[in-house]
Amino acid sequence: MAMNDVGRPTRLVAGTGAVAETFTGNRALMLEEPLLFERGSLDTSGVDLPPVPPVPDRLGGLARDGVIGLPGFSEPEAVRHYTRLSRQNYAIDLGIFPLGSCTMKHNPRLNEKMARLPGFADIHPLQPQSTVQGALELIDVLADWLMKLTGMPAVAMSPKAGAHGELCGMLAIRAALDARGDERRVVLVPESAHGTNPATAAFCGFTVENIPANARGRVDLDALLARLGPDVAAVMITNPNTCGLFEPDLKTIADAVHAAGGYVYCDGANFNAIVGRVRPGDLGVDAMHINLHKTFSTPHGGGGPGSGPVVLSAALAPFAPIPFVRKTANGLELVEEDTAATHAADSFGRMVAFHGQMGMFVRALAYMMSHGADGLRQVAEDAVLNANYVLASLKDLYTAPFADSGPCMHEALFSDDFLDGTGLTTLDLAKALIDEGFHPMTMYFPLVVHGAMLVEPTETESKANLDQLIGAMRHVATQMLADPDAWRAAPHFAPRRRLDETLAARRPVLGYKDEAA
Amino acid sequence: MSRLYTQDHEWIDVAAKGSGAEATVGITDYAQGQLGDVVFVDLPDAGRAVTKGGEAAVVESVKAASDVYAPVSGTVTESNPALADDPSLVNSAPEGDGWFFKLTLSDASELDGLMDKAAYDAFVASL
């Protein structure tokens, strides 16, 4: 195999129709790019700084005495490095990102403009509260929207992401149990719940028990009701669940759990499918986190940050974490102490240093206000419509295990049973989709179906975009069934082809080239 | 020596019947096939008490991490040192060199509920 000057293969493998051997290793506009450490020189620097003046050493013998070994680059070299790498990436701004359970929707630029207003972007958490009344008001207005949309009387704004929100809700449940001297410690988690749910419950000191799913991909109601008793602290249920299906028995479940003295935690990560249509408060939910970064379009997929406010029922509201915003006669205040003096003595305490993800709050409120109530309702309706369009367009070719039980919600679930006998699996199909220029769907999750493929198109894709994805998925599946051997080595056109995941996991090389040997 | 199987795809070799007897535990060929390439195995320390159906080890493949359950209750006497260096033994020899751990049985009657090879093969065929 041909190598370029940094030892990378440059030849396309036979069978793809093209053999590209160039001096540089580049293939026209597909540019090769070594690591910074492979090409930088320790002797050069992109900037000309004055010598460091002598400063007193306060490190007490811990000062570094060796060379760090950071490579130096001129500014254009550094800019080109990252630009070249970014061109090998896939992003929501390049095309549809049908990653189920992740809600990779378009991030409106208006949100970004609002988040950059100096009154929101340039303030400090330790500023006097009298100087940030506008920011506190924004938190208060957003909180009001969240309570209205969910039909819940209270909300904790500080949790920083979905799983952190789960932690907040379960700590509130734990605090409520402790406050009434209740020793119950079992949390029931259905198979159709998100995987973080049992982890959260265990972290809060609960014992987790599984409740099976029924043949329709929903919670097995009879099994759950049979297990309720005086030792059950809570049920954690995801609605819509990880199969992209609505849990129609949630109200029945909540009433039974409450009658048995327990609480209901709802994983609201999929709230984008029901926002404006269903109020979880009406279904008897005691606590639910809302992923602002999914449902209300903050820059999710760029690595965050996330934000996971938790709405709480009247029973759990007194235990909400500090700090929180409260209206007073003199304006808004941030309650920072969980004492009797601040009327927050029942609070279970503080989860984060400050009040939450301010930038995400601004983006989420901008999203809500620009959509309005009718627009938010249409978000849910279009997300569900798009997912059902994908499901209906593929279910004759792909195995759709729950299609017979009615429409899905915001994501369409398939299994790889239709590939039986070809020796190909979901992984091969996902790799083939890369050649078609799509980020693959979520694979092998949820675990309840074999070789799961979870497609979440979101409401921001047009019919034309969906038709392209559907066309590619039909083409790939049809070809794989007709000529399985041609697809074992896909992708053929990606900057890197099929990577050896097993070797990478068994013998990871964590250093750059010079250290790896 | 007889080999018995669970519905969770563990096998157990029992040297002799009776409480206090030593047994060897691993996962079946079917299980390793479903898991795909195994990259890591977390084994119980000697001396740990395990209960029938309780979690005893964790096996991690490129696809997923899965719990391995104790087929019967007992006390772990040894875990397979070879798996730390070469977890691929679980793929290449799941019912031989890729064994997970050994234990002494605390209640031999728990063996009665397990399947023999014919019953397990029929069970797998029904999946």
Kindly state which CATH superfamily the domain A373-504 is placed in. Answer: Aspartate Aminotransferase, domain 1 (3.90.1150.10)
Best mutation site among A417, A444, A502 for testing chain B: the one with the most B CBs within 10 Å? A502
pLDDT digits 0-9 by tens, A375-393 = 999 999 999 999 999 999 9
Q: What is the mean pLDDT of residues A230-246?
A: 95
Report the mean per-residue pLDDT for chain A: 90
Domain ranges of chain A: 110-365, 373-504
Give residues with Cβ within 8 angstroms of A194, minimum separation 6: A101, A162, A238, A242, A267, A269
How close is the nearest chain A Cα to the Cα of B38, in Å?
8
DSSP A125: T
pLDDT at A1: 37
Q: What is the mean pLDDT of residues A154-177?
A: 97
Q: Are strands B49-50 and B38-42 parallel, antiparallel or unpaired?
A: unpaired
Contact B64 A444 (CB under 8 A): yes
Cis peptide upstream of residue A159 (ω within 30 degrees of 0):
no
Q: What is the mean pLDDT of residues A207-216?
A: 92
Lowest mean pLDDT among A62-71, A137-146, A276-285, B7-16: A62-71
Contact present, A150 and A288 (Cβ < 8 Å): yes
Pairwise CA distance, residues A171 & A206, whole Å: 10
Spans of chain B below 50 pLDDT: none
Contact present, A95 and A438 (Cβ < 8 Å): yes
Q: Which structural domains are found in chain B, ordered by start?
A: 2-125 (2.40.50.100)
Best mutation site among A210, A426, A443, A506 for testing chain B: the one with the most B CBs within 10 Å? A506
Minimum CA–CA partner of B34 in chain A: A450
Cα–Cα distances in Å, from B112 out to A80, A365, B6, B125? 68, 62, 11, 22
A445 shares contact with chain B (CB less than 8 Å): no
How close is the nearest chain A Cα to the Cα of B82, in Å?
14
Tokens of A316: 């759990």
Q: What are the residue ranges of helices labelled H in A34-158?
A: 36-39, 75-87, 109-115, 118-121, 133-150
Question: Which residue reads 């559907």 in tokens?
Answer: A470
Nearest to A477 by CA among A434, A416, A421: A416
Q: What is the mean pLDDT of residues A15-29?
A: 70
Give the number of A-B residue pairs with CB atoms closer than 8 Å: 15
* C-beta atoms surrounding A127 within 10 Å: 10
Residue type, A220: D
Cα–Cα distances in Å, from A293 out to A309, A412, A500? 11, 21, 33
ipTM of the shown complex:
0.71
Pairwise CA distance, residues A252 & A153, whole Å: 21
Which helix (H) or strand (E) element contains residue A465? helix A463-482
**Which residues of chain A make contact with B37, given a CB cutoff of 8 A?**
501-502, 505
Q: What is the mean pLDDT of residues A316-320?
A: 97
Residue A11 has pLDDT above 70, yes or no: no
Contact A505 B88 (CB under 8 A): no
Q: Is B105 helix (H, G, I), strand (E, B) or coil?
A: strand
Confidence of residue A16 (pLDDT cuts 50, 70, 90): low
Confidence of residue A264 (pLDDT cuts 50, 70, 90): very high
Output Rg (C-alpha) for chain B, integer angstroms: 13
Q: What is the mean pLDDT of residues A265-276?
A: 96
pLDDT at B70: 96
Tokens of A94: 């390049």
Pairwise CA distance, residues A10 & A2, whole Å: 6
The beta-carbon neighbor of B39 closest among A444, A447, A506 is A506
Question: Which residue reads 């029929």 in tokens?
Answer: B122
Contact A444 B37 (CB under 8 A): no
A506 shares contact with chain B (CB less than 8 Å): yes
Confidence of residue A42 (pLDDT cuts 50, 70, 90): confident
How close is the nearest chain A Cα to the Cα of B127, in Å?
11
Minimum CA–CA partner of A507 in chain B: B39
Residue A473 phi/psi, 5-degree rounding, is -65, -35
Minimum CA–CA partner of A427 in chain B: B63
Q: At what angle do helices A196-203 and A162-179 cross, to 10 degrees?
A: 40
The beta-carbon neighbor of A501 closest among B62, B64, B87 is B62
**Which H, E and C letters describe A229-247, residue by residue?**
CCCEEEEEEECCCCCCCCC
Which helix (H) or strand (E) element contains residue A469? helix A463-482
Q: Is A454 helix (H, G, I), strand (E, B) or coil?
A: strand
Pairwise CA distance, residues A169 & A266, whole Å: 9
Chain B residues within 8 angstroms (CB to CB) of chain A: 37, 39-40, 62-64, 87-88
Determine whether A280 is exposed, middle or buried from the number of CB atoms within 10 Å of its CB (0-12, 13-18, 19+). buried
* C-beta atoms surrounding A34 within 10 Å: 18
Residue A10 has pLDDT above 60, yes or no: no
Residue A12 has pLDDT above 80, yes or no: no
The beta-carbon neighbor of B37 closest among A444, A447, A502 is A502
Confidence of residue A19 (pLDDT cuts 50, 70, 90): low
Contact B64 A447 (CB under 8 A): yes
Question: Which residue reads 């997300």 in tokens?
Answer: A383
Question: What residues does A9 pair with on adjacent strands?
Answer: A3
pLDDT at A510: 81
Residue A516 has pLDDT above 50, yes or no: no
Percent of chain A clearing pLDDT 90 (strictly above): 70
Half-sphere exposure of A278 (CA within 13 A, CB side): 20
pTM of the model: 0.86
pLDDT digits 0-9 by tens, B6-38 = 999 999 999 877 777 899 999 999 999 989 899
pLDDT digits 0-9 by tens, A435-490 = 999 999 999 888 889 899 999 999 999 999 999 999 999 999 999 999 999 999 99
Q: Is A323 helix (H, G, I), strand (E, B) or coil?
A: coil
**Which residues of chain A make contact with B88, given a CB cutoff of 8 A?**
506
Chain length of chain A? 517
CATH number for the domain formed by residue range(s) A110-365: 3.40.640.10
